[in-house]
Amino acid sequence: MKARIAVLVSGGGTNLQAILDAAARGEIPDGEVTLVISDRPGAYALERAKKAGVPGKEINRKACGGPAGFEEQLIAALEENRTDVIVLAGFLSILSENFTGRYPKRIINVHPSLIPSFCGAGFYGLKVHEAALNRGVRVTGATVHFVNEIPDGGEIIAQKAVEIRDGDTPEILQRRVMEQAEWVILPQSVEKVCKAIIAERI
């Protein structure tokens, strides 16, 4: 018996790949990725899902007539999949309280900073790393947290620090944070949450 994982993506899917690779290595024994959903047409993440033999689905946010219609379709797909855990992996759509309230302690997100630094509305992608470099901090990192109605406001599951080096650009720092932190703690956190769900059922 494994927890069923749906991964929500918007772009290239590098964090999805980290989860798929960890699962292939046997590092997520209590979970299985059973669905990948993209909110953007043509997201390369869906190609990654296909290569891994995982069903992929596109729910085009713009074609749904607004956030409510989008979330309705999203919920329908998740329910049909009998989803236990929802992982936001570079997913750029903000989810409403109506949505997050349906899945308490079931939605997890990875954010490329040490929350509470450089997080919340407007902080995503390279903007986070630009802010860290502009502020002159010497250490940054990544955080995996549960998702609630406040952007980056849910309970923290795991954090990992990454050193900032002289000469770093936002792009160089982004890559190092991914390799040294995001791709390490995201699969670990997915397993931790799946394990807790399975334990509840026994």
Both tokens of 181, joined, read 């932190």
Indicate if 145 belongs to the active site.
no
Burial 163-178 (b: 16+ CB within 10 A, else e): ebeeebebeebbebbb
- 21: Cα within 13 Å, side-chain hemisphere: 10
Of the listed 111, 129, 145, 176, which one is catalytic? 111
Sequence-ordered list of residues with C-beta below 8 angstroms from that of 71, at least 6 positions apart, any chain: 95, 96, 98, 99
Residue 64 identity = C
CA 55 and chain centroid, separation: 18
| Residue 157 β-bridge partners | none
Strand 56-58 versus strand 31-38 pairing type: parallel
Sequence-ordered list of residues with C-beta below 8 angstroms from that of 132, at least 6 positions apart, any chain: 113, 117, 118, 140, 164, 173
Residue 42 identity = G
Catalytic residues: 111
